[in-house]
Structure 1
């Protein structure tokens, strides 16, 4: 961090001048390709085909931070309030990468509490969790972690405090409805379908096992041991972190969902300019071990790219952070072992048009193969995120100790129409990843 630090700031009036940008190449000597990388990333952020509200990136090469940069605005005033630039401490709601972080907390409990990944989760939840179409088959944590539990999101996956998940998933219970949360044609272990509800149950299980509320439990298990200013409960963030929390934007209405690339940026979530975040609604009715979804184990972690880099380096170092062991090597080997691979015919899972091809325990996998890779030459594991305008990537190659982190705070155009050329990602994501990998890692 000392030495070759550089910051470039530009005015950012909506639609008039390039977004604010600040880039911080790391460590001592000037790095090859840094200027080209900064130019490429700034051009991607300002591209009128799909402008980005903000962008924070970090690259790790051989276990060390090789580059980090921030571009655009964490707060956009639309001419009413001042714009605020993204910086190296800006936190983002990282969407589904939160699942990987939740899994790391769970794996600590697997070590500490002897939780069995292949046991019937009913034993840990305190109620029977069975697909009524396949009642003889137990559902395990391995099923939940690999999206093969036969649970589905069609009936919802987030519920107010005071709601018991058992009343939602149990046939005949008060909130069961038509049972759309259960697959009828494939039982546990048979078919991959990405499912957010599974992580609500995982978080609830973690509470039940420990007697601790999920947001505080994740502080104890993962965030505090790593020295991170982050959390699943924005109302509990310290004032300095809250002031640096990125609002997520789209140029899309929140209710009618109409895109207007030439219109104003519209806040989608984490807009706390007028008032600070409140605790989850109904928190006074919260019962530990009944429903952890108010804290969103599936997508609610707020954290900065730099702190995500701390997590990534701990994983690269075999579970050790600053001489303190967080997880055992055998636990990480089990977690990142391949559990499911798409068969290419759709018979064993839904890849969601190519986004999901290979899976470990709570992590996506991106082998260096056509249509499966993130970047050519980069064989990686990790997770992607997509919610409220945010698009995120956390991916690393443990053997070569290389990794990339990308946090996009919103887009001006529908990413679904910005097709990539070699993957299921949007074109701007491919461009960011390619630039980062080529200049900061392959170099």
Structure 2
């Protein structure tokens, strides 16, 4: 593999520096670097970040290849600046055995656009009644450390306690989709003024908050790690903040769409805005941004949820829940967090690379941009502004809530262990 010289990039948004890649490793970082025969990438004015890591991606394979495949999903990831993604377990069959997680892991390795780390199901078939083969999945070639029934809540307190006890033995983490099912039967959107006016079934904030409160107490009792998926309410922020103040080992994520969009958009009845948990209020959005800035919320995770056209182009009640997000996540974070002054680019790197890699134990990812580290890197043109055109997505699905919306920033290059997966905005 030839040498690559990235010239004049603002590393983590700081002063311009040169970065020399030799094979799979960053050889040197400094000013005035040169390397005979190296491929030169002129990066003046652009920001260089460690490769992004997504702790919450739905790749759909096996079973729903009409929505996404490991190949198309990882191509979308590379387009968005990601070098590693964690694939959720709600596939068909469910990733609740060593065999299924190893299949997903091998597909990721074969396609090579980014590393794929499977997430194992907590319960058999995501049914919430019997623990899945947690130990076997951890001991498999995939080395699973994160377990989740995402899409469904582990609502049985005894099952949740047992899962926390089991993963503690090998330092794993249970990632909870916090949704009390009895409180959300028939729910179509956030419960509040807009749902009352539209006559749609409401998804109350307490349905999320009550599960989070229970689970942080269980994690404290067991002495284990719990991670809160797609936290979406101001009340949830306060519970996590309280839990951290007690020293409970809890981490939390927020999605880009919950940082930007509100339930007011549901007035259009456009199913592209139908998502679980639902879009919340302006007050919630403000609380989520502040919590991400102050560290109460640890990371940004996309909850990339692709669906085929027919599952979204229908009446609201029948539409599937979910949005694609890998290819727009960094732009949304730039708009909501960087351009508002809540985070600098070093803070973005922390929340979209360093911390998610640490939570999920993604070896070789979320590392500093420095000599001797793996060359997993993302180059961003932060001065770019353009409208979102889903026709150009690498994802197999197009269910984005940002179509036609102008967003800042564009990933121009992505390198996975020194190999370019995206060059000048185009997949290799």
Query: Shared fold by TM > 0.5?
Result: no
Q: When you count strand as a share of all residues, which structure comes out higher?
A: 2
TM range (shorter): under 0.3
- TM-score where L is the length of structure 1: 0.23
TM-score by length of 2: 0.23
Bigger fraction of residues in helix: 2
Higher relative contact order structure (alpha carbons within 8 Å, sequence separation ≥ 6): 1
